Amino acid sequence: MRLTYCANVHPAEDLAAWFRVHEEHAVPIAAAVRAGGREFGLGAWWNATIARQLAADPAARAGLAEWLDRHDLDVWTLNAFPYGGFHDAAVKTRVYTPHWADPWRVAYTIDVATVVTLLHAARGRGPAVVPISTLPLGFREDSQRRAMAVNLRVVACRLANLRDEHGVHCVLALEPEPNCMLETAAATADFLEQEVFDVAGPLEERLRDHLGVCVDLCHLAVVGEDPVAAWRSLRQREITVPKVQVSSCLELRDPATSLDRLLAFDEPRYLHQTGGDAGRLRALDLADVAARRAEFERCRTIRTHFHLPVFWDAEGPLGSTRRQLRAFLAEMADTDPAEAPLLEVETYTWSVLDEDWRPDRDLVAGILRELDDVAAVLSTSKPGPAEGS
């Protein structure tokens, strides 16, 4: 089972910065993972500027191929959700722009898919399937769904053509998230079936081959969707799940007495959507929770979209959804590896965790600890040999 981490944790606004941060972080992480006997490939993030340069400039692409060869690395998956500026001082809802009705979103996604396809084809290596995660259409606004469906079809057909030409199979995976147009795996499957795949003949098969769902465990926890049930339902509906983002969120178990401990995580860069009692009470950000304090103090539990290191949990009122994460990994351990998704640890919030709270101040050590923890859970969750075998 392929296991990596999402490099959107690294600020890289141009190609030179991308090489620099990956030399500093991804290369030693790869070496340590391999020393432990596991394979490693990149969970890359290229912003729109980098993706355009690589798509348009063969020399830049050749430089990237040389760098990958030198470090014996492949690009296993890509995050094409943040278009750019993901490490700006204030990101918040800007991370959802441009949305899927915007031609800039289409162009960016095709650039990303083109680059990874040409890289794998030129090097004669790479994974059988390359998942590319993307935003769940857009933020709240629901008026352009038809245009968004059309654009997704356009991109899927382009991915199919790239596969026909170069033999590299990319799958674009919509990633449901709280307060977006598609908040749950179930709603995402409904959208794909009813508004994208609703065509007859060979086109439907091509669309299904190149469009699917990226399951983010933190996101599902906030809205109260059980990830194991969601995974099983998607498989039953024959919706492709090429990637799962292994993540956990903040969980407050005693809001009546401890709400201030949760509110201490409010910070200006990222959006922290919050759900009380399995998502029945909702707030866009922690500042909204503070403004509606009396409502949230009446909840039994509160979960907040704040990705925490996946190895962390704590007894008492404030912890994480690690228990739910472990249950999902147990499901993965019992899944045929040929049918299992790529697993990508996505903790992009290290930079906004308070220094005194941060479990590992060394980012390389922290990410390695996350990867080792997930690998250990998968290993211990695998069923043993049958009696007498």
Within 10 Å of residue 385's Cβ, how many Cβ atoms? Answer: 6
CB-based contacts of 160, cutoff 8 Å, min separation 6: 206, 209, 210
Instruction: For 182-238, give the DSSP string.
Output: --SHHHHHHHIIIIIS---THHHHHHHHHEEEEEEHHHHHHHT--HHHHHHHHHHTT
Mean pLDDT split into 10-residue runs, the chain, 389 residues: 96 97 98 97 98 98 98 98 97 96 98 98 95 96 89 98 98 98 98 93 94 98 97 97 98 97 96 96 98 98 97 95 97 94 97 71 92 96 48
CB-based contacts of 248, cutoff 8 Å, min separation 6: 217, 218, 221, 307, 308, 310, 312, 313, 320, 321, 322, 324, 325
Within 10 Å of residue 184's Cβ, how many Cβ atoms? Answer: 20
Tokens of 242: 């090429």
Helix, coil or strand: residue 25: helix
- Domains in the chain and their CATH numbers? 3-248+321-380 (3.20.20.150)
Q: What is the largest CA-CA distance in the chain?
A: 61
Quote the pLDDT of residue 1.
Answer: 87
Quote the pLDDT of residue 387.
Answer: 34
Model-level pTM? Answer: 0.96
Residue 96 and residue 103 in contact, taking contact as beta carbons nearer than 8 Å: no
Alpha helix positions (H), the chain: 15-21, 27-35, 48-56, 58-70, 103-123, 145-166, 185-191, 202-210, 217-223, 227-236, 255-263, 286-291, 293-297, 322-333, 363-381
Residue 114 and residue 162 in contact, taking contact as beta carbons nearer than 8 Å: yes
Quote the pLDDT of residue 385.
Answer: 43
